[in-house]
């Protein structure tokens, strides 16, 4: 069946599965693009942790530049590019923070060292030297000792609700296949599909 007649989440799932078999690491890595009040776009990689029809979820520090930008302007974009497949997927829409219950549940599944790292890192703030970070890791390691490491209030997830997908497949001589999915105007449960020139 061609892309045109498929559900975008099902296409996404099948491409991600294919990438998982081929990519040497992090098939779930995606670029997250955000724009704050200053109107200047900013992009960086994050890892997709979950997806469902409600959206695409990733986790980060809530005091980081990306999170501050999303607080100012919730509209964001995700980009997957899998070199081994010669394919890309663009996903755009508004983000919202996941619930504390959901963030707690995911944080609890992370390795202890990553949990301590989340506490220790004031993400994107100036670091005087590596020793400063090591000191903070040691401090939180001692603080939580042998007990569970709770999720820091400044660390959580965001879910991007897809309002637009674009699936791009490399073709010969740059005649690539591109299909854009947007919610159907007549039925919000359905998607309108438009093929576009490469």
Ligand X SMILES: Cc1cc2nc3c(=O)[nH]c(=O)nc-3n(C[C@H](O)[C@H](O)[C@H](O)COP(=O)(O)O)c2cc1C
Catalytic residue IDs: 174
Residue owning tokens 């992090």: 26
Read off the DSSP letter of residue 188: T
**Helices then strands, each counted (H, E), the chain:** 5, 10
In the complex, the residues that contact ligand X under the rule CB under 6 A are: 26, 29, 42, 44-47, 58-61, 64-66, 123-124
**Nearest of 29, 156, 147 to residue 95 by alpha carbon:** 156
Q: How far is the CB of 51 from ligand X (least distance, A)?
A: 14
Task: State the minimum distance, in angstroms, from the CB of residue 193 to ligand X.
Answer: 30
Which is nearer to ligand X, 6 or 136 (by Cβ)?
Answer: 136
Closer residue to ligand X in complex, CB, 60/115:
60
Q: What minimum distance in Å lies between the beta carbon of 153 and ligand X?
A: 16
CB nearer to ligand X: give 60 or 88: 60
Q: Max alpha carbon distance in the chain (Å)?
A: 59
Among residues 80, 82, 86, 93, which one has the least CA distance to residue 177?
86
């Amino acid at each position: 069946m061609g892309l045109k007649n498929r559900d975008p989440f099902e296409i996404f799932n099948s491409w991600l599965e294919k990438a998982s078999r081929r990519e040497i690491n992090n098939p779930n890595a995606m670029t997250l693009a955000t724009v704050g009040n200053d109107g200047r776009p900013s992009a960086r990689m994050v890892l997709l942790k979950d997806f469902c029809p409600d959206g695409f979820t990733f986790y980060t520090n809530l005091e980081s530049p990306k999170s501050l930008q999303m607080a100012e302007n919730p509209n964001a974009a995700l980009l997957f590019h899998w070199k081994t497949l010669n394919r890309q997927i663009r996903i755009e829409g508004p983000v919202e923070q996941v619930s504390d219950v959901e963030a707690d549940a995911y944080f609890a599944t992370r390795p202890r060292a990553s949990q301590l790292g989340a506490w220790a890192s004031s993400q994107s703030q100036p670091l005087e030297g590596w020793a400063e970070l090591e000191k903070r890791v040691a401090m939180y390691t001692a603080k939580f000792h042998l007990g569970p490491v709770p999720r820091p209030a400044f660390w959580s997830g965001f879910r991007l609700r897809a309002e637009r997908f674009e699936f791009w497949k490399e073709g010969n001589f740059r005649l690539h296949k591109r299909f854009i999915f947007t919610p159907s105007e007549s039925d919000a449960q359905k998607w309108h599909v438009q093929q576009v020139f490469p």
